[in-house]
């Protein structure tokens, strides 16, 4: 596993990460991680690697886009001094283009998304052990669907940045595609975005596999 003893893993993103996590910082007692994939990651690391003392912090905020992360990056990332930073962002950057088409101020173009993401990586990478980038996704198997096609563009940006900066990459869209060979997306999320427990477990397992957290219990 790439995490080391005593490491602090901060996981930041939008509502997919948030899921009722504690405020102002999603760490500590009484279900502080919330009920998202972050809680499954934290619980797995805690029970499978108890001697490691790994800290997991959930800093997701519902509705966030990449530019919202940038606006709060100092207080919600840098000031918390993580060893590792995991990012899942981009869904709302795309979604607003489809659910709010007449409000261009809420849209984030691929160019702006990439530029914003690049700034976050460049200001963070020198100060942490590493970063884990996860692709935004849309639970739609039809790749010709306009929103799915658009989301794939943003996922490709994340992959390109991960490769360019030699960061850990997690392809969530491909994980959904594999799952939906057997079940319908509506059984995971009515809006094709916010997953149920099965969906959050899928994200967590994909993340844990990417960081090499595969110790059997």
For 22-40, write each residue's pLDDT tens digit: 999 999 999 999 999 999 9
Q: Is residue 1 domain-resident? A: no
Q: Is the bond into 106 cis (omega within 30 degrees of 0)?
A: no
Q: Is residue 2 domain-resident? A: no
Q: Is residue 215 domain-resident? A: no
Q: Is residue 217 domain-resident? A: no
pLDDT of residue 155: 98
Give tens-digit pLDDT for 148-206: 999 999 999 999 999 999 999 999 999 999 999 999 999 999 999 999 999 999 999 99
Task: Give strand pairing partners of 60.
Answer: none
Active site residues: 15, 191, 194
Mean pLDDT of 46-73: 98
What is the CA angle 138-177-63, rounded to 5? 20
3-state secondary structure of 15: helix
3-state secondary structure of 1: coil
Question: What CATH number did the domain enclosing 153 receive?
Answer: 3.40.50.1110
Q: Is residue 30 domain-resident? A: yes
DSSP letter for 104, please. Answer: G
Domain tally, the chain:
1
217 pLDDT above the threshold of 90: no
Answer for the pair 38, 58: CB distance below 8 angstroms, yes or no.
yes
CA distance 14 to 194: 11
Structural domain that includes position 21:
8-210
Q: Is residue 195 domain-resident? A: yes
CA distance 177 to 145: 14
pLDDT of residue 90: 98
């Amino acid at each position: 596993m790439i995490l080391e003893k005593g490491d602090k893993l901060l996981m930041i993103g939008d509502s997919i990460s948030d899921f009722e996590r504690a405020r102002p910082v999603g760490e500590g007692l009484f279900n502080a991680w919330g009920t998202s994939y972050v809680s499954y990651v934290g619980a797995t690391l805690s029970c499978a690697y108890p001697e490691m003392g790994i800290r997991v912090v959930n800093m997701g905020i519902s509705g966030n886009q990449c530019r919202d992360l940038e606006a709060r990056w100092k207080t919600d990332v840098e000031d918390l001094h993580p060893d590792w930073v995991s990012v899942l962002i981009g869904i709302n950057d795309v979604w607003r283009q489809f659910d709010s088409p007449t409000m261009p101020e809420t849209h984030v173009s691929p160019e702006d998304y990439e530029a914003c993401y690049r700034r976050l990586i460049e200001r963070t990478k020198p100060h942490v052990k590493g970063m884990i980038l996860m692709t935004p996704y849309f639970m739609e198997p039809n790749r010709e669907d306009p929103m799915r096609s658009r989301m794939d563009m943003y996922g490709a940006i994340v992959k390109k940045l991960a490769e360019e900066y030699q960061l850990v990459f997690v392809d969530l869209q491909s994980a959904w595609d594999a799952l939906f060979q057997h079940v319908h997306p509506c059984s995971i999320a009515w809006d094709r975005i916010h997953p149920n427990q099965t969906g959050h477990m899928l994200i967590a397992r994909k993340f844990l596999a990417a960081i090499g957290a595969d110790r059997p219990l």
